[in-house]
Amino acid sequence: MFHHTRFAQPDFRRQLDQCIHCGLCLPACPTYSINQLEMDSPRGRIALMRAAADGRIALDGAFQEHIDLCLGCRACETACPSGVQYGLLLETAKAALAGARGEERGATAATPQSTAAASLHSAPLASRLSHIIQRFGLRELMPHRKRLRLLARGLWLYQRLGLTKIAQRVLPSLPPALTTMEGMAPPIDLDFLDLSRPAPALAPRRGKVAFFTGCVQDAFLAGVNRATVRVLQRNGYEVHFPAAQTCCNAAALHSGDVTFAQTLARQNIDAFPADEFAAIINNAGGCGAALKGYDHLLADDPVYAVRARAFVAKVKDISEFLVDHLHNPPTGYVQARVAYVDSCHLRHGQKISKQPRALLRTIPGIELVELAQPDMCCGSAGIYNLLQPEMANQVLDAKLADIRAVNPGIIVAANTGCYMQMIYGVKRGGLRATVLHVVELLERSYANAA
Ligand code: SF4
Ligand code: SF4
């Protein structure tokens, strides 16, 4: 299978060879913009992948370092005139690295390079520890709604007891990842979405949709999920919550755990009977991009390949769906200067950038302002900001400078990671702005009208 045999596969080689070294992607790449290092550019990383695939370099040292520093934002894909699917190349490189560490469950040792890469076993202790923690979160937390909600309750208590203030005094002396983690925690809202029964249409009925709740989104940004469902109800949709749904698999793919990513994909396909719903709605750019990749991920699966295509055909980001199904536009006045911060996986991964802006423009009173570089990442990139806090902070600071220049009262995000990164960014940059999701602002307008 393409992902499992990794570098040895002709598909991978074909993709690599599609790069014509033109360098047009370089100015779009956040890490290259900051480091100005060829090896931290898309072209440089592709050259490293080619060298690793040819067995000229091992899967450790410089290779791992430059691949790990990539945000996976896919801005290079949008910029590339040659149609290089960098996201797929990166997935393969990450899977090869995970295979070399012996992490991926059921990983095959099919490539000669993977044996050369056994030296990764002697990787520094901190790096191995970080991979063990990632793996624990990936398998033991993210696919388990109850555990995540329990964690959210713990964070709520931590915030209620005022421990945030104490932590803020101690944190500057601790590793930067902990400062980021503390800073990006949203005020916890324990009014979790009730998933026990469908939410009825609140306007003349237009149809039935299924809602993909997300894992972190469900537990830590409950308000965003409530607003999503409410806006769908207000537009005549009955919203269903298939009980067996699980984490999308984006984090598993980012860490190279393809086998586990496929397991999660099959579980979600089983959970959502695609033909029963007008759409399978999600509200997080990263989750949506992962869900839309199921057909590729399971292309060689004799049982799931066809079902994966049917599933993907129904997956819609909430903005993508609403822009065509806003049967009852919001009418309540919301006076605010608003900056929309694109999610990379929405803009570059799903090519959705006009729809959220179009929805925001329907709200009476909103002044929508554009950032100078809307196509640049905010530095969140899944858990990149925790794994590579120094680079993530530099990328974030560039985004904050852009935001400060337009001085918004509300920053709108459309992805779980971006939303939390903006919460952290507002504190870090001392901005006077509130962070909201597109649907939260829509819901505010509906509520104001009422
Ligand atoms: S995915 Fe983003 S960070 Fe990585 S090479 Fe492409 S543009 Fe650069
Ligand atoms: S723009 Fe595309 S073809 Fe040109 S160097 Fe970048 S990845 Fe290669």
Domain boundaries, the chain: 2-123, 329-449
Q: How many angstroms is it from 85 CA to the middle of ligand 2? A: 10
**How many C-beta atoms lie closer than 10 Å to residue 293's C-beta?**
23
Atom of ligand 2 nearest to the CA of 24: 1
No. of helices (H) and no. of strands (E), the chain? 26, 8
Determine if ligand 1 sits within 6 Å of the CB of residue 33. no
Determine if ligand 1 sits within 6 Å of the CB of residue 145. no
Residue with tokens 């004799």: 302
Strand, helix or coil at 162? coil
What are the backbone dihedrals phi and psi of residue 358, each rounded to the nearest 5 degrees, phi first? -60, -40
To test ligand 2's pocket by mutation, which of 29, 46, 77 has the most ligand atoms within 8 angstroms of CB?
A: 46
Q: How many angstroms is it from 27 CA to the middle of ligand 1? A: 10
Q: How many angstroms is it from 95 CA to the middle of ligand 2? A: 22
**How many C-beta atoms lie closer than 10 Å to residue 59's C-beta?**
25
Give Cα 279 to chain centroid, integer Å: 20
Least reliable range by pLDDT among 66-70, 252-256, 296-300, 359-363: 252-256
Residue with tokens 């979160």: 137
Determine if ligand 1 sits within 6 Å of the CB of residue 43. no
Query: Residue 299 pLDDT > 60, yes or no?
Result: yes
Residue with tokens 């149609």: 83
To test ligand 2's pocket by mutation, which of 14, 17, 24, 88 has the most ligand atoms within 8 angstroms of CB?
A: 24
Residues 6+ apart with CB under 8 A from 5: 108, 110, 111
Determine if ligand 1 sits within 6 Å of the CB of residue 293. no
Q: How many angstroms is it from 70 CA to the middle of ligand 1? A: 5
| 307 confidence band (pLDDT: 50, 70, 90) | very high
Determine if ligand 1 sits within 6 Å of the CB of residue 84. no
Strand, helix or coil at 240? strand
Determine if ligand 1 sits within 6 Å of the CB of residue 76. yes
Nearest CA to 420 among 395, 408, 437, 439?
437
**How many C-beta atoms lie closer than 10 Å to residue 251's C-beta?**
26
Mean pLDDT, residues 367-384: 94
Q: What are 155-163's contacts with CB under 8 Å, separation 24+?
A: 155/185, 155/188, 155/220, 156/188, 156/190, 159/185, 159/187, 159/188
Nearest CA to 208 among 274, 277, 272, 310?
277
Residues 6+ apart with CB under 8 A from 259: 4, 104, 105, 106, 107
To test ligand 2's pocket by mutation, which of 14, 20, 90 has the most ligand atoms within 8 angstroms of CB?
A: 20
Q: How many angstroms is it from 377 CA to the middle of ligand 1? A: 9
Q: Are 188 and 152 in contact (CB under 8 A)?
A: yes
pLDDT for 435:
98
**How many C-beta atoms lie closer than 10 Å to residue 406's C-beta?**
14
Determine if ligand 1 sits within 6 Å of the CB of residue 31. yes
Q: How many angstroms is it from 76 CA to the middle of ligand 2? A: 8
Q: How many angstroms is it from 25 CA to the middle of ligand 1? A: 9
Rounded CA separation 155/187 (Å): 9
- CB burial of residue 3 (10 Å; 0-12, 13-18, 19+): buried
The secondary structure of 5-24 as a DSSP string is HGGG-HHHHHHHHT-----T
Element housing 208 (H / E):
strand 207-211
pLDDT for 110:
35
Rounded CA separation 244/258 (Å): 21
CA distances in angstroms from 328 to 229, 231, 234, 235, listed in the order given: 14, 9, 7, 6
Tens digit of pLDDT for each residue in 2-46?
334 567 777 888 889 999 999 999 999 999 999 999 999 999 999
Query: Residue 81 pLDDT > 80, yes or no?
Result: yes
Mean pLDDT, the chain, whole residue set: 90
Query: Residue 404 pLDDT > 80, yes or no?
Result: yes
What are the backbone dihedrals phi and psi of residue 7, each rounded to the nearest 5 degrees, phi first? -60, -20
Rounded CA separation 194/407 (Å): 37
2-123 and 329-449 agree in CATH topology: no
21-30, 112-121, 152-161, 375-384: which has the highest mean pLDDT? 21-30
Q: Which residues line ligand 2 (CB under 6 A)?
A: 19-25, 42-43, 46, 76, 79-80, 82, 84
pLDDT for 99:
85
Rounded CA separation 367/253 (Å): 38
Mean pLDDT, residues 256-283: 96
Q: How many angstroms is it from 377 CA to the middle of ligand 2? A: 18
So what's the architecture of 329-449 in CATH? 3-Layer(aba) Sandwich (3.40)
Residues 6+ apart with CB under 8 A from 129: none
Q: Are 235 and 202 in contact (CB under 8 A)?
A: no
Side chain identity at residue 139, one-letter code: R
Atom of ligand 2 nearest to the CA of 26: 6
pLDDT for 103:
62
Q: How many angstroms is it from 29 CA to the middle of ligand 1? A: 5
Ligand 2 atom 6 nearest Cα: 25
Tens digit of pLDDT for each residue in 340-365?
999 999 999 999 999 999 999 999 99
Mean pLDDT, residues 360-385: 95
CATH number assigned to the domain covering 2-123: 1.10.1060
User: Alpha helices, DSSP H only, in 82-171?
Assistant: 86-101, 112-116, 125-136, 145-160, 163-170
Q: How many angstroms is it from 44 CA to the middle of ligand 2? A: 10
Tens digit of pLDDT for each residue in 212-245?
999 999 999 999 999 999 999 999 999 999 999 9
Q: For residue 315, what are the β-bridge partners?
A: 280
To test ligand 1's pocket by mutation, which of 29, 89, 91 has the most ligand atoms within 8 angstroms of CB?
A: 29
- The predicted model scores a pTM of 0.90
Ligand 2 atom 1 nearest Cα: 80
Rounded CA separation 178/184 (Å): 10
Nearest CA to 58 among 106, 97, 8, 108?
97
Question: How far apart, in Å, do the first and last CA atoms of the chain sit?
Answer: 54
Tens digit of pLDDT for each residue in 84-139?
999 999 999 999 998 887 764 443 333 333 333 333 344 555 666 677 777 788 88
Q: Tokens for 246?
A: 């699980």
Rounded CA separation 450/441 (Å): 14
Determine if ligand 1 sits within 6 Å of the CB of residue 71. yes
